[in-house]
């Protein structure tokens, strides 16, 4: 039924927007974390502590309508920064920090918010259509 398709499409869009925002928030929260040197490299340090790997949310169309959000690792995962006072600094004072650009993350979060709002409007419209249809049939 077309009405339920509209609801399902809107719900999948809400979930994709939520995943986009969550991924971006995770990147921002870990901007100063020790990062894995590369996507293919180790995911823990010598002491067994996990290394952060930043990611991006990628939306893909689903057959029959809707969208699904998946995560794709950022390559390279880390950028080297000079911080000789950091506890994880090497002999030359360089540390691996997550390859996160805060201005890009702000744009991602604004996009996720707008995506959420648009899909919420789709759900509201489908709900109103369903109510009108039921009123006509009764």
Summarize pLDDT for 30-77 with one digit per residue, the tens.
999 888 887 887 888 888 888 999 999 999 999 888 899 999 999 999
Alpha carbons 95 and 84: distance in angstroms, whole number: 8
Q: Which residue has the higher pLDDT, 40 or 12?
A: 12
Identify the band that residue 130 occupies on the pLDDT scale cut at 50, 70 and 90. confident
On the question of pLDDT at 3 being above 80, the answer is no
C-alpha–C-alpha distance, residues 3 and 127, integer Å: 8
For the cut 60, the answer to whether the pLDDT of residue 89 exceeds it is yes
* pTM score, whole prediction: 0.84
Sequence spans of domains, the chain: 2-137
Residue 50, both tokens: 């996990």
Max avg pLDDT among 6-10, 40-44, 68-72, 122-126: 68-72
What is the three-class DSSP state of 76? Answer: coil
| Integer CA distances (angstroms), 113 to 13, 17, 120, in order | 11, 7, 11
**CB–CB of 35/77 below 8 Å?**
yes
At 2, is the pLDDT very low, low, confident or very high (cuts 50, 70, 90)? Answer: low
């Amino acid at each position: 039924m077309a009405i339920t398709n509209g609801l399902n499409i809107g719900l999948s869009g809400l979930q994709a927007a939520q995943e986009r925002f969550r991924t971006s928030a995770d990147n921002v929260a870990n901007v100063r974390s020790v990062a894995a040197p590369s996507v293919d490299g180790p995911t823990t340090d010598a002491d067994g502590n996990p290394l952060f790997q930043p990611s991006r949310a990628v939306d893909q169309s689903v057959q029959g309508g809707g969208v699904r959000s998946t995560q794709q690792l950022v390559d390279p995962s880390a950028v080297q920064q000079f911080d000789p006072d950091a506890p994880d600094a090497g002999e030359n004072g360089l540390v691996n920090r997550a390859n996160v650009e805060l201005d890009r993350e702000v744009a991602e979060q604004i996009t996720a918010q707008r995506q959420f709002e648009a899909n919420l409007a789709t759900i509201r419209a489908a709900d109103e259509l369903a109510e009108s249809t039921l009123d006509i049939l009764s």
